[in-house]
Amino acid sequence: MFIFLKNCIKYYNTIRYLRLIQIIGQAKHRLKLSKNYKFNLSKDFELSQVVNSMISPAKRSQSMIDTNTFLFLNETHYVSSIKGWNDANLSKLWLYNLHYFDDLNATDSHLRIEKQKDLITSWINNNLPGKGIGWEPYPSSLRIVNWIKWHLNVHPLEEYAIQSLMVQVRFLFNNLETHLLGNHLFSNAKALIFAGLFFNQSESQKWYEKGLKIFTRELSEQILDDGGSFELSTMYHVILLEDLLDILNLHFTYEKEVTSDLTVKIKLMYSWLNSMCHPDNEISFFNDSAFKIAPSSEEIKQYILRLNEYRYLDINFEKQLNSSFVDLYSSGYSRIESETMVLLIDRASIGPDYLPGHAHADTFSFELSLFNKRVIVNSGTSTYEKNIERQKQRATSSHSTLTLDGKDSSEIWGGFRVARRAKVFNRVNDIQKEQIILSASHSGYHRLLGRPTHSRSWKFSGRLLEITDKIDGKGIHDIDLCFPLHPEVKIISSFKQKVLIESENKEIAISFDGKGVLGVESSAYHPEFGLSIENIQLHYKLLTKIPISIITRVHW
């Protein structure tokens, strides 16, 4: 009975945040799964006249290794026949990537044209309309865009492929992901816009109008005032920014007028991205984030430069990041930068409330680079499978923050679910000439006995970072303060309350002021999907009565 009541509370605290459109969309989605569709297989088509050559879009790494052999998520598999396209022995995310056709527009794509033509033919022959993973709306959306990009930028599609493309768009048009919203629905809209401009007939105008309506609405919804993606993931931010650049690029290709708000959003989003990267010019790992899913930050920059060259955009890169302190207030992140340090701080509540699927229980986590190298990190993301490993990677204990009584600051579960969640309050910035102090509190542990409140402050001055964790409330609680270290960071010595580490032949001291026990534990760092690298976590633990404060000092 206790477990039943506990699960009821969990489900209630998950579902109560959903929007009505998601609930209705979910019901429609489940009904459609068993419905037999009558496909419009009409082969007549007319393409729109291309006015300007398409600017080369952002490129990903080559994923087609050889004929029917692909590398996704650090796994290589051979694929042929209808079974291969829907092989139950492969993860769904790997198969999703197979159906995306990203390789059509990857590095040196022009060298694989014949193999790619064969792959398109194989997909058409082995994925009958409406059957299999490839016809799900999300992979359909990415594939539609990739086929059109390939046609405009690399090699024209054959007539039979264009006919297949029309059927795919018709199916997508009737199966939009209103039950999921977020990046899925945005990708649906992007595909409709691409197909609507690519084709020139009455139904394609409906595709374009529908896609543009969703795009316009979601543009203001999904991009916050500071330029951040509302899902608060650096990786998905890059994907969304690439989407906007592609839509801008396509409109100029067909000399179609585009809203001026689009270019404004692009500038804000690039500025946000710049603020959330480390000195290695790559993204930080807040929420679901990893390398090699989205284009690299440098690839996005080069794409913007190409658009700048043709005056489609006007972004001045020299003006980026001219301040030692950047507060991305709407998304809850902050950046402090000095000659030797970059500090990225998360003071954000989980958001948006109705779409927390890519959220981690990482409130008050931070990432620290010293001497241009990552030192303190969040642990990254390597899987979307609904398993123990996915749960662990989303857990508070995999991030540079504080765990109380072994509980997560937000109740993450089920791979992409969140029940009760931490709310951030008392967010304060104290910016002085000689020092910067940022602070905030969160309510994530109010569900525990004694209603503990976790408050954290970061005080930066010279070559010293001082982190103060204060736990208010009542009772005796287990406190675990965690600092995951980058795999390249080495432990030189550890004694009582102090540890000496080394990065780039530079010594860094981390000390703790309190009555706890300092420990060094083996863990794993996940910079890419399908990749886990051994690293070390520093843990400072104590069982104590609260209120209490713990001070951590990082000196370099």
Q: What is the pLDDT of residue 264?
A: 93
Residue 401 CB burial class (10 angstroms; 0-12, 13-18, ≥19): buried
- Cα dihedral 116/118/119/120 (nearest 10): 90
Mean pLDDT of 155-176: 96
Give the mean pLDDT of 72-85: 89
Query: pLDDT digit string (tens) for 109-139?
Result: 999 999 999 999 999 999 999 999 999 999 9
Tokens of 353: 């409330």
Decide if 515 is inside a domain: yes
Model confidence, pTM: 0.94
Q: Report how far apart the first and last C-alpha atoms of the chain are (Å, whole number).
A: 54
Distance of alpha carbon 431 from its chain centroid, rounded? 30
The SS3 assignment for 31 reads helix
Burial (Cβ within 10 Å: 0-12, 13-18, ≥19) of residue 272 = buried
Q: How many whole angstroms separate alpha carbon 268 and alpha carbon 274?
A: 10
Residue 32: CB atoms within 10 Å: 12
Q: What average pLDDT score do residues 235-248 get?
A: 97
- Is 463 domain-assigned? yes
Whether 349 maps to a domain, the answer reads yes
Number of H helices, E strands in the chain: 13, 22
- Distance from C-alpha of 158 to C-alpha of 385, rounded to nearest angstrom: 36
Tokens of 215: 């795009």
Q: What CA–CA distance (Å, rounded) separates 231 from 289? A: 11
Q: Please give the C-alpha separations between residue 522 and each of 270, 485, 512, 519, 525, in angstroms, as whole numbers.
A: 36, 10, 20, 10, 10
pLDDT in tens, 529-549: 999 999 999 999 999 999 999
Helix (H) or strand (E) segment spanning residue 43: none
Residue 46, pLDDT score:
93
pLDDT at 34: 43
**What's phi and psi for 251, nearest 5 deg?**
-65, -40
Q: What is the mean pLDDT of residues 312-324?
A: 70
What is the per-residue DSSP string for 477-537?
Answer: EEEEEEEEB-TT-EEEEEETTEEEEEETTEEEEEEEESS-EEEEEEEEEEEETTEEEEEEE
| Residue with token string 């690299």 | 296
Query: Does some domain include residue 387?
Result: yes
- Report yes or no on 258 lying in a domain: no
Task: Give per-residue pLDDT as tens, 464-483.
Answer: 999 999 999 999 999 999 99
Question: HSE (CB half, 13 Å, CA atoms) of 316?
Answer: 4
Is the confidence at residue 319, as pLDDT, over 60? no
pLDDT at 181: 75
Phi and psi dihedrals of 234, rounded to 5? -65, -35
The tokens 């990739």 sit on which residue?
146
Pick 34 or 451 by higher pLDDT: 451
Q: Tell whether 9 is covered by a domain.
A: yes
Residue matched to tokens 């642990």: 379
Place of tokens 């590398």: 71
pLDDT at 180: 72
- CB contact set of 412 (below 8 Å; sequence gap of 6+): 359, 360, 361, 391, 394, 395, 418
pLDDT band at 5 (very low <50, low <70, confident <90, very high): low
Which tokens belong to 202? Answer: 């009455």
Q: Do the beta carbons of residue 304 and residue 313 sit within 8 Å?
A: yes
DSSP reduced 3-state for 80? coil
**495-521 residue pLDDT tens:** 889 999 999 899 999 999 988 999 999
DSSP 223: B
Highest mean pLDDT among 59-73, 312-326, 350-364: 59-73
The tens digit of pLDDT for each residue in 270-299 reads 999 999 999 999 999 999 999 999 999 999
- Residue 45 has a CB neighbour count (10 Å cut-off) of 16
Residue 104 covered by a domain: no
| Count of domains forming the chain | 2
How far is the C-alpha of 544 from the C-alpha of 348, rounded, in Å? 27
* Alpha-carbon gap, residue 115 to 117, rounded angstroms: 5
The string of DSSP letters for 345-411 reads EE------TT--TT--S-TT-EEEEETTEEEE---B----SSSHHHHHHHSGGGSSSEEETTB-SS-
The chain-wide mean pLDDT, for the chain, equals 92
Cβ proximity of 304 and 267 under 8 Å: no
| Residue 279 CB neighbour total at 10 angstroms | 15
Q: Model confidence over 339-398: pLDDT tens digits? A: 999 999 999 998 888 888 899 999 999 999 999 999 999 999 999 999 999 999 999 999
Task: Strands of 33-160 (E only): list them.
Answer: 64-66, 69-72, 75-78
Q: Classify 262 as helix, strand or coil.
A: helix
Domain that holds residue 30: 1-36
Rounded distance between C-alpha atoms, residue 98 and residue 94, angstroms: 6
Nearest to 429 by CA among 369, 347, 548: 347
Q: State whether residue 425 is helix, strand or coil.
A: strand
Given a cut of 70, whether residue 433 has pLDDT beyond it is: yes
H, E, C per residue of 282-339: CECCCCCCCECCCCCHHHHHHHHHHHHHCCCCCCCHHHCCCCCEEEECCCCEEEEECC
Structural domain includes residue 84: no
Instruction: Identify the pLDDT of residue 155.
Output: 95
Amino acid at the residue 385: E
**Beta bridge partners of residue 380, listed in sequence order:** 526
Tokens of 206: 């409906």
Mean pLDDT of 459-464: 96
pLDDT tens per residue, range 6-64: 666 665 666 666 666 666 656 555 566 445 566 777 778 899 999 999 999 999 999 99
